[in-house]
Amino acid sequence: MSSESTTIRWEQDDTGVVTLVLDDPNQSANTVNKAFRESFAAITDRLEAEKDSIRGVVLTSAKKTFFAGGDLRDLIRVTPDTAQELFDGGLAFKRQLRRMETLGKPVVAAINGAALGGGYELALACHHRIALDAPGSKIGCPEVTLGLLPGGGGVVRTVRLLGITDALLKVLLQGTQYNPRRALENGLVDEVAETREEMLAKARAFIDAHPESAQPWDRPGYRIPGGTPSHPKFAANLPAFPANLRKQTGGAPYPAPRNIMAAAVEGAQVDFETAQVIEARYFVELAAGQTSKNMIQAFFFDLQAVNSGAGRPKDVPARKVTKVAVLGAGMMGAGIAYSCARAGIDVVLKDVTLEAALKGKAYSEKLCAKAVSRGRTTREKADALLARITPTAEAADLAGCDAVIEAVFEDTSLKHKVFQEVQNVVAPDALLCSNTSTLPITALAEGVERQEDFIGLHFFSPVDKMPLVEIIKGGRTGDEALARAFDLVRQINKTPIVVNDSRGFFTSRVIGHFINEGVAMVGEGIEPASVEQAAAQAGYPAKVLSLMDELTLTLPRKIRRETQRAVEEAGGTWTPHPAEAVVDRMVDEFGRTGRSGGAGFYDYDESGRRGPLWPGLREHFTRPGHTVPFRDMQERMLFSEALDTVRLLEEGVLTSVADANIGSILGIGFPGWTGGVLQYINGYEGGLSGFVARARELAERYGERFTPPALLVEKAEKGEVFRD
């Protein structure tokens, strides 16, 4: 028998078990859209009306995923004006879930695939959760990563299921996505099944054994596990909560963790219905705010656009790499070899000596051993990965490679030499990539015979952890090479952004502005500790002076001098940045070259561990009592990067807004709450006009480098935003 409901199918067998099959006919995944809400309301009406003939309910889906949750296209459009509508709609939906939960009949979630966010919240409103151990299946509440909280009862129910502390730490604050086994270990589901049949059989067994199910929190005498804030034992833990919050956000403007914590703690002190209203209020506040819009735009829409190939030439057929030559088994080459082998690609790892190549492979051995010991992979899989990496010192071993990734020292003539050595050994149409971080690709290409097959593939360190690869199209790079490079990056599960050739490309050039601004502030006499705090509280993952120490003070100086020479040779004038004098003094006068040299803006012990900021900074640079507004300090860093990104758009180095946003967050640590370096401008108070006005103010106070570029002013005047 079938109902009229459009997104949920009603299937009832002759034993009185109703299977509700989530199956939105208009989408590949089920979401909480208008059609679903209407269907669900009709279903709950029917469940209540036909209750006497129903023995139990199984909720499952006909899609690959169980349920995808809230529709982000709707959520990103919420404004303070439509907030009330969201609040009312949310509470109405929660009431339907509550009706199902209090039906008096057992309701089982048969979670056949991913149940994230609203999908898991739907499962939480069931009395029993059985997850199918399907590959790639994930369970959890990742809303926090989009600047939101689970507003479908997820905070209220996880708190009542797991207790406040576990709900916060295991589910809500980090947004961890668990595979079914780990979801079971952490109490998010009750059982795991190997097959769909087993899952459904277990669901029936539960219904047979629990004819009159109720949620634990609806039973007499229920208490929240671990106690509530009114319990003295639990209350003693409460002061640690704000400290944890501070640790998570670094003081940066992420409102979601704060709202989640407040909804959990406040909601634990009241009855279920009131807790739902509290949760709804905190949810709507987040949804109507700017941060969730920034984060949804970046981590959902932009990321999807970038990964799905917006920057890839469309008419080149997809092709997979089967055997890659990695030249140079140093820090980058070793990481690149591991990432390729992990994706199933055979790797020939070449260095000048076999010993050096073996050392490069040892890096993969270390990573594999760690993954096995932590249960993230099996010994067999790790062995298979390692077997794919062949270390060598012989160019002849590169025969048959269909791609080359070069990662030798940063030296043009050396790079030319290694390509000459291998270009006629590898497959005749092999893709030729360089992992240079600074050398212009067009000039590097001059050292190879097939310049149209030559391209920049800029990985970030540590390669195994960093998700971004910046693809740099040289002046003569062909579309085919670009498409193949894009496919290779996707093949190794990384995110590719595409830029045109220019000194420092996009990422290295823009991060240079951030660092220069921090260093310039030290030179102005501002307390170095305040500069570090400003970076942390703006949301940068690494403090600015410590980052400079990591990169070394000498490398950026070398690059700066080369750039200066190039500018002057081309007839231009070099405008020195105030940071340059500080770096020159640090290196020339005090011999402090950064962490690898044992001393930089910070002191280091013999093992290279960072100690305190170097006291000499205060002695030689700080003007006691000299301060500038803290907000100026933060915005000088953020604006310097955003303004240069606009210049890169003007210059045609960048051609996509999504690439800029994603590249800035994933590659160079631009704070995630902004939604990326161009979305930061879009979302700034007062929009683009507000940003332009503020940039002019900063230019007046701190220097012409903050003058807004023409493209920005023009867009602000037209009332536009940066969007592809």
- In the list 62, 169, 240, 352, the residue contacting ligand NAD (rule: CB under 6 A) is 352
Report the residue number, 350 or 592, with the smaller CB distance to ligand NAD: 350
Alpha-carbon distance 379 to 373, whole Å?
9
Residue nearest to ligand NAD (CB): 330
Find where tokens 């030499």 sit. Answer: 417
Three-class DSSP category at 156: helix
Report the residue number, 332 or 455, with the smaller CB distance to ligand NAD: 332
User: Nearest approach, Cβ of 121 to ligand NAD (angstroms)?
Assistant: 41
Which stretch, 25-33, 207-215, 347-355, 703-711, contacts ligand NAD (CB under 6 A)? 347-355
**Which of 146, 103, 92 lies closest to 126 in space, CA to CA?**
103
The single-letter code of the amino acid at 68 is: A
The single-letter code of the amino acid at 528 is: P
Report the residue number, 102 or 420, with the smaller CB distance to ligand NAD: 420
Three-class DSSP category at 103: coil
Q: Is 351 in the site for ligand NAD (CB under 6 A)?
A: yes
- In the list 30, 437, 442, 495, the residue contacting ligand NAD (rule: CB under 6 A) is 437
Q: Is 436 in the site for ligand NAD (CB under 6 A)?
A: yes
**Which of 656, 342, 309, 650 lies closest to 483 in space, CA to CA?**
309
Which stretch, 53-61, 174-182, 249-257, 406-414, contacts ligand NAD (CB under 6 A)? 406-414
Q: Is 153 in the site for ligand NAD (CB under 6 A)?
A: no
- In the list 329, 653, 654, 660, the residue contacting ligand NAD (rule: CB under 6 A) is 329
H or E element at residue 191: strand 191-193
User: Nearest approach, Cβ of 508 to ligand NAD (angstroms)?
Assistant: 8
Q: Enter the tokens of residue 581.
A: 């004098």
218 to 101, 264, 272, 416: CA distances (angstroms): 9, 18, 9, 72
What lies within 8 Å, CB to CB, of 589 at 6+ separation is none
- In the list 91, 270, 331, 386, the residue contacting ligand NAD (rule: CB under 6 A) is 331
Q: Is 507 in the site for ligand NAD (CB under 6 A)?
A: no
Which stretch, 131-139, 191-199, 331-339, 441-449, contacts ligand NAD (CB under 6 A)? 331-339
What lies within 8 Å, CB to CB, of 619 at 6+ separation is none
User: Nearest approach, Cβ of 237 to ligand NAD (angstroms)?
Assistant: 41
Report the residue number, 160 or 350, with the smaller CB distance to ligand NAD: 350
User: Nearest approach, Cβ of 463 to ligand NAD (angstroms)?
Assistant: 8
Report the residue number, 319 or 557, with the smaller CB distance to ligand NAD: 557
Q: Is 413 in the site for ligand NAD (CB under 6 A)?
A: no
Report the residue number, 146 or 403, with the smaller CB distance to ligand NAD: 403
Alpha-carbon distance 72 to 53, whole Å?
38
DSSP string computed for 104-148:
SS-EEEEE-S-EETHHHHHHHTSSEEEEE--TT--EE-GGGGGT-
Q: Is 332 in the site for ligand NAD (CB under 6 A)?
A: yes
- In the list 132, 408, 426, 515, the residue contacting ligand NAD (rule: CB under 6 A) is 408
- The two beta strands, 323-327 and 403-406, are parallel
Count interface residues toward ligand NAD (CB under 6 A).
Answer: 23
User: Nearest approach, Cβ of 367 to ligand NAD (angstroms)?
Assistant: 16
User: Nearest approach, Cβ of 332 to ligand NAD (angstroms)?
Assistant: 3
Report the residue number, 190 or 410, with the smaller CB distance to ligand NAD: 410
Report the residue number, 438 or 655, with the smaller CB distance to ligand NAD: 438
User: Nearest approach, Cβ of 665 to ligand NAD (angstroms)?
Assistant: 17
Report the residue number, 126 or 329, with the smaller CB distance to ligand NAD: 329
User: Nearest approach, Cβ of 605 to ligand NAD (angstroms)?
Assistant: 23
- In the list 166, 410, 480, 714, the residue contacting ligand NAD (rule: CB under 6 A) is 410
**Which of 259, 254, 261 lies closest to 240 in space, CA to CA?**
261
**Which of 491, 459, 480, 486 lies closest to 320 in space, CA to CA?**
491
Report the residue number, 465 or 626, with the smaller CB distance to ligand NAD: 465
Is the separation of the CB atoms in 654 and 694 below 8 Å?
no
User: Nearest approach, Cβ of 551 to ligand NAD (angstroms)?
Assistant: 8
- In the list 333, 447, 539, 600, the residue contacting ligand NAD (rule: CB under 6 A) is 333
- In the list 337, 398, 407, 534, the residue contacting ligand NAD (rule: CB under 6 A) is 407
Q: Is 455 in the site for ligand NAD (CB under 6 A)?
A: no
Which stretch, 13-21, 408-416, 533-541, 694-702, contacts ligand NAD (CB under 6 A)? 408-416
User: Nearest approach, Cβ of 445 to ligand NAD (angstroms)?
Assistant: 15
DSSP string computed for 431-447:
EEEE--SSS-HHHHHTT
Q: Enter the tokens of residue 646.
A: 């606009």
Q: Is 400 in the site for ligand NAD (CB under 6 A)?
A: no
Beta bridge partners of 192: 131
User: Nearest approach, Cβ of 561 to ligand NAD (angstroms)?
Assistant: 16
Is the separation of the CB atoms in 150 and 143 below 8 Å?
yes
- In the list 260, 263, 327, 660, the residue contacting ligand NAD (rule: CB under 6 A) is 327
Q: Enter the tokens of residue 524.
A: 């102005």
Report the residue number, 9 or 509, with the smaller CB distance to ligand NAD: 509
**Each residue of 609-631: b (16+ CB within 10 Å) or e?**
eeeebbeebbeebbeeeeebeee
Alpha-carbon distance 522 to 528, whole Å?
6
Rg of the chain over Cα atoms, rounded to whole angstroms, equals: 28
Q: Is 420 in the site for ligand NAD (CB under 6 A)?
A: no
Report the residue number, 358 or 414, with the smaller CB distance to ligand NAD: 414
Report the residue number, 435 or 516, with the smaller CB distance to ligand NAD: 435
Alpha-carbon distance 604 to 594, whole Å?
9
Find where tokens 């096995």 sit. Answer: 372
User: Nearest approach, Cβ of 336 to ligand NAD (angstroms)?
Assistant: 9
Which stretch, 101-109, 374-382, 454-462, 698-706, contacts ligand NAD (CB under 6 A)? 454-462
H or E element at residue 582: helix 578-584
Report the residue number, 252 or 336, with the smaller CB distance to ligand NAD: 336
User: Nearest approach, Cβ of 453 to ligand NAD (angstroms)?
Assistant: 19
- In the list 79, 420, 461, 627, the residue contacting ligand NAD (rule: CB under 6 A) is 461
Q: Is 330 in the site for ligand NAD (CB under 6 A)?
A: yes
Is the separation of the CB atoms in 25 and 36 below 8 Å?
no
Beta bridge partners of 17: 56
Q: Enter the tokens of residue 642.
A: 């955003």
Peptide bond between residue 612 and the one before it cis (omega within 30 degrees of 0): no
Alpha-carbon distance 610 to 613, whole Å?
9
Is the separation of the CB atoms in 402 and 431 below 8 Å?
yes
Q: Enter the tokens of residue 482.
A: 């670009």
Alpha-carbon distance 695 to 118, whole Å?
40
Which stretch, 8-16, 18-26, 457-465, 624-632, contacts ligand NAD (CB under 6 A)? 457-465
Report the residue number, 325 or 522, with the smaller CB distance to ligand NAD: 325
Alpha-carbon distance 340 to 321, whole Å?
10
Q: Is 356 in the site for ligand NAD (CB under 6 A)?
A: yes
Report the residue number, 28 or 413, with the smaller CB distance to ligand NAD: 413
Three-class DSSP category at 269: coil
Q: Note the residues at the interface with ligand NAD (CB under 6 A).
A: 327-333, 350-352, 356, 407-410, 414, 418, 435-437, 458-459, 461
